[in-house]
Amino acid sequence: MYEQNGSPSLMSQTLQDRRTSIADHLKAHFSFASLLAILFLTFLDNTIASAVLTSVQAKLHAGVTQLQWVVGGYALAFASLMLICGSLGDNFGRKKVMLIGVVIFCGGSLVSAFAGSPTELIIGRVIMGVGAAGSEPSTLSMIRHIYPEKKARARALGAWAAVSGLALALGPVVGGVLVGLWSWRAVFWFNFIFGAVVLVVAAIALPESVNDIRRRIDGYGFVLATTALGLATFATISGETWGYYSDGVLTLYSIAGLSFIIYFIVESKTKYPMLNVRWVRNRAFAGSTTIAFTSYFAIFSIFFFVALYLEVVASVGPYTLALDFLPMLAGMVIASLFTGRWVGRVGSRVPMTVGCLLAGVGVLLTDKFISPHAGLGSIGFAMGVAGVGFGIIVVPINATALISIPAANSGMAASTINTSRELGAVTGVAILGSIVNGQLTVNLTHRLAQIGIPPSYRQIIINAVITGNVNSQAQKVSGQSSAGVRAIIKKVVAAAFGAFTHGLNIALSVSGLLLLVSGGIAYFTGTAERNSMVADEA
């Protein structure tokens, strides 16, 4: 009777269904893990270069302006191409565009690893940025296809935010260890090898995803936005050497400003814009986009300038640099892990506000305690506070953007937030770098005049400072000089480091105050809605 009723057959079907369900879950998790690996790789490279700055200075004789391009070139290419690459993925296949991006990223890593001059390294970094722009946008938009069930998708979004924060924080630590093990070239070989492994895994694990209806690519918007961003960044960094009131810099700024205005006009009229400029009127979306920009603008005052200061002025080695950044890493990771549930319970307003304020306080405390003798004991706590703040900020930015824009446009909304982040990074490096570099010339010139250095020798000293050779040159001359000359050299080195410290203090103060202002923006634009809704909107 038992077999006549078909019970064994029913049990067999149930068992088969369970096996199929488990297989589907494992396949989804494998696909998601490959997405996170790509995300980790592209975000890591925003900050990993901070560990190679002084080594590149010494080996390739790069100046501060060239170091800015080593960091900013990657972020600029990333920011300029992200929206257009997102559109290409929607139209022609997200997996296809993502894998092409990883291939380009690996190619740029090889160019950087073999670079024999600062220019070649900058070219390699720009190529890497192009690859990151192609591979990163779909890491968020493909989550909805991998996890159609909203609870699983919500957890995946939280993991995405945590990994992006972890990658940023790990950059100086991983970079410091790699440089210590070999040289600055090890960082780019790591990128190449990691990228190649990720490429193979993603090719196997990821399903293809493409929109059913293809939309026309917004070529005009892409050209105008890229022109505006590229020229404005180039003018800001070049102004350090050309002069900000020079005809060339003013012309570049004028063309960039005109392109930006035309861009908004074109985007408001085109049927399929790269960025829907009408979203600027949405208070929550505009606020989260602004904070994405300001937070990354500020965070690079630590990842770029504090790292450079510790290496040049405090003379820390790569392993010590990695150790000094551990509190910040721990703060970002721990904060991002608990913030997802916090945002789910109370909405984004309070967490985003608290995150901005904590990050601002941490940056200002870092400014207060930074010194030529700074180390883990003196600035570890301050950088840890900044890390907690930044870790909190990462999660509600995405949540606010996604719940404030219709579900059909979630991919564009996510790309806009990520573009704003990268713009903040490249703008922070450009503007704050101009401040620091300016102090290495204007302030240092004043200090050298005070100690009686003749004008004919001042530019030689300034060039030695901005190319990172001041210590080696001073030691070389001191070994062959009298006590009186050694005393003068000691004053010159102190003046150089004092000018660098003054520039860093200004950069950190600007960043800290900007974050405190961002806390006010967060309070008035954040949402109090429970962000479990994000899962439905993603």
Maximum mean pLDDT: which of 109-118, 148-157, 174-183, 203-212: 109-118
**What pLDDT, on a 0 to 100 scale, did the predictor assign at position 518?**
94
| Inter-CA distances, 95 with 142, 415, 423, Å | 9, 16, 25
- DSSP codes joined into one string, 137-167: THHHHTHHHH--SHHHHHHHHHHHHHHHHHH
Count Cβ atoms within 10 A of the Cβ of residue 19 and give its class: 0-12 exposed, 13-18 middle, 19 or more buried: exposed
What is the rounded CA–CA span in Å between residue 301 and residue 282? 29
pLDDT-derived band at 54 (thresholds 50, 70, 90) equals confident
Element (H, E) at 95: helix 94-113
What is the rounded CA–CA span in Å between residue 322 and residue 180? 10
* pLDDT-wise least confident of 470-479, 485-494, 501-510: 470-479
Alpha helices, DSSP H, located in 439-478: 444-450, 455-466, 470-478
| Inter-CA distances, 377 with 18, 195, 313, 330, Å | 54, 36, 17, 15
- For residue 440, the 8-state DSSP code is I
**What pLDDT, on a 0 to 100 scale, did the predictor assign at position 12?**
61
- Which two structure tokens, joined as six digits, stand for 144? 């909805």
Q: What is the mean pLDDT of residues 328-346?
A: 83
> pLDDT tens across 113-122, in order?
999 999 999 9
pTM recorded for the entire structure:
0.78
Which contacts qualify for 13-17: CB closer than 8 Å, 24 or more apart? Answer: none
What is the rounded CA–CA span in Å between residue 161 and residue 393? 10
What is the rounded CA–CA span in Å between residue 147 and residue 153? 5
**What pLDDT, on a 0 to 100 scale, did the predictor assign at position 117?**
92
**What pLDDT, on a 0 to 100 scale, did the predictor assign at position 410?**
61
Residue 310: CB partners within 8 Å, gap ≥ 6? 316, 320, 321, 324, 374
Coil/strand/helix, residue 52: coil
Q: What is the chain's length? A: 538
What is the rounded CA–CA span in Å between residue 204 and residue 31? 9
**What pLDDT, on a 0 to 100 scale, did the predictor assign at position 195?**
94
Q: What is the mean pLDDT of residues 42-56?
A: 84
**What pLDDT, on a 0 to 100 scale, did the predictor assign at position 411?**
61
pLDDT-derived band at 2 (thresholds 50, 70, 90) equals very low
Element (H, E) at 188: helix 185-205
- DSSP codes joined into one string, 17-46: HHHHHHHHHHHHHHHHHHHHHHHHHHHHHH
Q: Are 529 and 374 in contact (CB under 8 A)?
A: no
pLDDT at 533 over 90: no
**What pLDDT, on a 0 to 100 scale, did the predictor assign at position 394?**
81
> pLDDT tens across 450-469, in order?
777 777 666 666 666 655 55
Neighbour count for residue 204 (Cβ, 10 Å): 10
**What pLDDT, on a 0 to 100 scale, did the predictor assign at position 475?**
57
What is the rounded CA–CA span in Å between residue 93 and residue 87? 10
What is the rounded CA–CA span in Å between residue 464 and residue 454? 16
Q: What is the mean pLDDT of residues 436-451?
A: 73
- The three-point CA angle 211-214-215 to 5° equals 120
- Which two structure tokens, joined as six digits, stand for 430? 């450009």
- Which two structure tokens, joined as six digits, stand for 115? 């670079």
**What pLDDT, on a 0 to 100 scale, did the predictor assign at position 234?**
81
What is the rounded CA–CA span in Å between residue 81 and residue 307? 28
**What pLDDT, on a 0 to 100 scale, did the predictor assign at position 474?**
54
pLDDT at 17 over 60: no
Nearest to 44 by CA among 159, 128, 156, 142: 128
Strands (E), 122-248: none
- Which two structure tokens, joined as six digits, stand for 53? 């700055």
pLDDT-derived band at 483 (thresholds 50, 70, 90) equals low
> pLDDT tens across 302-329, in order?
887 888 788 777 778 888 888 888 898 8
CA 233 distance to own-chain centroid = 16
Residue 471: CB partners within 8 Å, gap ≥ 6? 312, 315, 493
| Inter-CA distances, 224 with 40, 80, 129, 232, 257, Å | 30, 10, 19, 12, 10
pLDDT at 536 over 60: no
Tell me what percent of the chain is helix, strand and coil, each rounded to the nearest 5. Answer: 85, 0, 15
Coil/strand/helix, residue 116: coil
Of 480 and 226, the one with more pLDDT: 226
What is the rounded CA–CA span in Å between residue 186 and residue 188? 5
**What pLDDT, on a 0 to 100 scale, did the predictor assign at position 534?**
41
What is the rounded CA–CA span in Å between residue 286 and residue 401? 8
